[in-house]
Structure 1
């Protein structure tokens, strides 16, 4: 989270993700519980071998300022998991961003992320780092 907005309850978030080869970042506005439902779903991921958990912010349309899709799924029967990261900022060139990549992970790390997100209060702790969540800052 970057800052509080002007009294309307929105927070200014910045999310940055990387798989080591590709990276993307997005600034957007949302409420303090923006990630709570996503986190609750991740705490028990996967429920089945075909489980999918999604978080979408904005719309994949030029009518919106931004779009982010995080889609978590298993790609192996042993539970090996991935996160599809799809981010667009819908700005004009040369400021536009259109990035899609996958982050490989496992259910235990996703469960940990779910616990972090479902209990996160960005008004109390402004930064949440995952998988190195022990490095959170105020």
Structure 2
């Protein structure tokens, strides 16, 4: 069985436009997915800061979605949504990915990673400090 894991790896350097190509691999121990996305070297910093400060209250929700248009058929789609689902502070990260391929190569995946705020805070602290131009891989298990 797989373990819960978030791995972000730089697999392509910018060609003058400043964009990096990332491979993002995620697992909740039962379901796993992998997706390639493009973004700048600070792409995950704001999300890391929001995770480090999560939750502000039991209603807190934070979202990471570098591409707002899930209907776009030309690009890969990645979204994380973090929220508390119980009064005791139990939290979850909703993972949604979709590739931009045509049928029959197309895929879409959605699952949840169950966790607690302290784990999300540690993830956020690590993520906001990560510089993908210095360390090509970020792993959190």
Same-fold call, TM > 0.5?
Answer: yes
Unaligned runs of 5+ in 2: 1-9
Per-residue deviation at 1:18? 0.8
* Aligned length, in residue pairs: 131
Higher relative contact order at CA 8 Å, sep ≥6: structure 1 or structure 2? 2
For the Cα contact (< 8 Å) 2:99–2:106, is it kept in 1? Answer: yes
Secondary structure of 1:2's partner?
Answer: strand
Corresponding position of 1:130: 140
Corresponding position of 1:11: 20
Q: Choose between structure 1 and 2: higher strand proportion.
A: 2
1:115 and 2:119 aligned: no
Supply the distance in 2 between the matched residues of 1:20 and 1:39 (Cα, whole angstroms).
22
Does 19-28 or 60-69 show the bigger shift? 60-69
Per-residue deviation at 1:44? 1.2
For the Cα contact (< 8 Å) 2:74–2:101, is it kept in 1? Answer: no
Q: TM-score, normalised by structure 2?
A: 0.89
Secondary structure of 2:34's partner?
Answer: strand
Does 56-65 or 3-12 show the bigger shift? 56-65
Supply the distance in 2 between the matched residues of 1:57 and 1:121 (Cα, whole angstroms).
18
Tell me the alpha carbon deviations over residues 70-105 of structure 1, each in whole angstroms, 9 at most, x when there is no partner: 000001111111000010013112221100100001
Runs of 4+ in structure 1 displaced over 6 angstroms?
A: none
Supply the distance in 1 between the matched residues of 2:136 and 2:119 (Cα, whole angstroms).
21
Per-residue deviation at 1:3? 2.2
Q: TM-score, normalised by structure 1?
A: 0.90
Corresponding position of 1:90: 100
Question: Which one of the candidate residues 62, 86, 94 is aligned to 1:53?
Answer: 62
Supply the distance in 1 between the matched residues of 2:22 and 2:89 (Cα, whole angstroms).
31
